């Protein structure tokens, strides 16, 4: 039996698909859900417990949306994640700079300064309208934070990549292997948790939703399944060590040489209605 520890480079816990912005190239496709919703506290906490029963350590555990500050139970979700802090290098909460934390949320953040960092995505004064207020709040409360610049000069990662084109892209296995090898989402494991399912990146989750690829052990793991713990851990190892997954064939990958686009361009309702995603 393989007892090698499972270390995940980064994992995103998706707690809501609601957002205060409608970014055209949103990495979780939030604007394209007709009825975006918050995921219930009980389900989120159950997913957190299941994930940490399957892995041994996680470098970065990111609580995100959508916009996580919209979720009324965010303080309770943080408390659940913090239970596993000895398995986590750093707990991040990614916000878009449009909302201030509630008093309950700020209290929990202050109680867990030792293991939590707030990442504030700054899309400029017309969109991220609360950046100054957030900076003041977190400075005063001594909650660790980082502002990630997505406007003006020196834009983080040079801009955003377009993952809305889901057409098949790699015509030889060699091309597919090389693309997957260079993808930042494949290096070390960059997983996503949503409603009891563990996906091997959120682009995979979206392509399963759209019926482009099958839902199976190569695309996601049902963390609540009746399979044994060892079987599910084996599934994780298999995908993390595979040269590629079926979903990689439909993706440009997170690669520096791909075309980068201006961040946070807002999509119009007409664009949503006529269909941005290409299949």
Specify the CATH class of 7-274 in words: alpha beta
CA 187 to the chain's CA centroid: 15
Maximum separation of any 2 CA atoms in the chain, in Å: 55
Backbone angles phi, psi at 46, to 5 degrees: -65, -40
DSSP letter at 221 equals: E
pLDDT digits (tens, 9 = 90+) for 142-190: 999 999 999 988 899 899 999 999 999 987 999 999 999 999 888 777 8
CA 85 to the chain's CA centroid: 18
pLDDT digits (tens, 9 = 90+) for 82-108: 999 999 999 999 999 999 999 999 999
DSSP secondary structure letters along 83-114: TTGGGEEEEEEEE-SS-PPPHHHHHHHHHTTT
Q: In what order do the strands lie in the sheet with 57-64?
A: 145-149, 116-122, 88-95, 57-64, 7-14, 190-194, 197-199, 220-222
Domain boundaries, the chain: 7-274
């Amino acid at each position: 039996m393989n007892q090698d520890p499972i270390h995940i480079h980064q994992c995103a816990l998706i707690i809501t698909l609601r957002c205060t912005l409608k970014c055209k190239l949103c990495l979780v496709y939030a604007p394209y859900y007709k009825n975006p919703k918050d995921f219930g506290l009980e389900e989120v906490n159950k997913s957190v417990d299941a994930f940490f029963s399957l892995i041994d350590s996680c470098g970065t555990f990111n609580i995100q949306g959508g916009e996580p500050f919209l979720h009324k139970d965010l303080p309770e979700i943080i408390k659940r994640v913090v239970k596993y802090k000895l398995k986590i290098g750093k707990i991040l909460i990614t916000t878009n700079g449009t909302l201030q934390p509630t008093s309950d949320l700020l209290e929990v953040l202050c109680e867990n300064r030792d293991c939590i960092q707030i990442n504030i995505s700054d899309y400029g004064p017309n969109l991220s309208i609360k950046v100054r207020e957030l900076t003041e709040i977190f400075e005063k409360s001594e909650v660790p934070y980082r502002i990630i610049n997505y406007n003006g000069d020196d834009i983080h990662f040079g801009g955003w990549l377009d993952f809305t084109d889901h057409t098949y892209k790699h015509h030889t296995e060699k091309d597919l292997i090389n693309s997957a090898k260079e993808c930042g989402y494949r290096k070390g494991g960059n997983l996503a948790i949503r409603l009891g399912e563990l996906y091997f990146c959120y682009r995979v989750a979206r392509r399963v939703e759209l019926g482009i690829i099958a839902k199976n052990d190569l695309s996601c793991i049902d963390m609540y399944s009746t399979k044994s713990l060892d079987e599910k851990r084996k599934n994780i190892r298999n995908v993390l060590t595979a040269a590629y997954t079926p979903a990689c064939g439909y993706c440009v990958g997170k690669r520096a040489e791909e075309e980068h686009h201006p961040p946070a361009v807002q999509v119009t309702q007409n664009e949503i209605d006529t269909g941005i995603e290409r299949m």
